[in-house]
Amino acid sequence: MSSAGETKPAKPPVPDTAELLAEIRSLRALLRVQSHKTLLMHRALAAHGILGPTEMDSPTAEAAAEVLHRTGSSDAILAFGSKGQGIFSPRPEMAGTLETLDVDCLFYRDFLQAWWCRGLLGLSHDIPSTAEYLRRRVAALGYRRITTTGISMCAYAAILFGVLIGAGRIVAFGPQTRVGRSSFDRFDGTDPQAVKFDFRSKYADLAQILDEVPYEGRIEIHFSRHSGFDEAHAKHLARFPQVSLHPVDSEEHNAAAVLKEQGRLAGLFRFD
């Protein structure tokens, strides 16, 4: 107990809201500058052929748009990687899980953080050229069966490119199936003007792609049952016979994480 007459410590001053907002704006500006510098370095390396496709144990793997994990399998999983945050590079998607499987994995990353609409750095420049690159790459490596996969924005890429290249199977977790202003606002406030994503393009609506492309494979959409956002995007493709919906008992945008915690994630990628 404090003795009589002892002065109580003063309460810390309440931060000024305007000052806090100014600091946040300053930090965001700094992150944009650092991210731009990192991107310029990636572009320079890619332009000189230093950042072409590489393998997982290569010194350049952390900076490459395509990284290959070989097992000698005739089957392959094409995993489209996370967006990354600020100055941090996109990560190979689900690498810890996929590398445990007896199957080759090709990890793709969108260093331009542009919802894949500006291509793979050093490999392609837009969606059609990316699809063509993937077709040629899969053919050159001689794979018999292909699965594409991704989470959230990258699940959009998994469906889009899986359909365009005719992958036998697509495993998507919480995909955005219609790309609009709300998607950009929800995920890190991405500026569509900066990434040059055309909301009027057919690529903004995966239902339109499925209407146009004679896709004969399977699309499995795993989504959080109690997330209205996830459910709406999943059901947008429900009318297509190639699509099956698999709700996960979660309220968050985290279907893949929940499945991993339950020990069910790796099993989804077993080839029949």
Residue 4 within a domain = no
Q: Which residues of the chain have pLDDT under 70?
A: 1-15, 24-52, 82-93, 187-195
Which pLDDT value is given to residue 88? Answer: 46
Residue 7 within a domain = no
Convert the pLDDT of each residue in 217-241 to its tens digit: 999 999 999 999 999 999 999 999 9
CATH at residue 160: 3.40.50.1820
Residue 223 φ then ψ, to 5°: -145, 160
Residue 134 within a domain = yes
0.85 exceeded by pTM? no
Q: Total structural domains in the chain?
A: 1
Residue 5 within a domain = no
Residue 6 within a domain = no
Which pLDDT value is given to residue 196? Answer: 74
Residue 136 within a domain = yes
Residue 130 within a domain = yes
Contact status, residue 107 vs residue 79, Cβ threshold 8 Å: yes
Which pLDDT value is given to residue 87? Answer: 44
Which pLDDT value is given to residue 40? Answer: 52
DSSP H helices, 142-171, are 153-165
Residue 258 within a domain = yes
Which pLDDT value is given to residue 90? Answer: 58
Range of the domain at 35: 17-269
Tokens representing 1?
A: 């107990």
Spell out the residues 6+ positions from residue 177 whose beta carbon is closer than 8 angstroms to its own. Answer: 156, 159, 205, 206, 207, 233, 234, 236, 237
Convert the pLDDT of each residue in 47-74 to its tens digit: 545 566 778 777 777 778 899 999 999 9
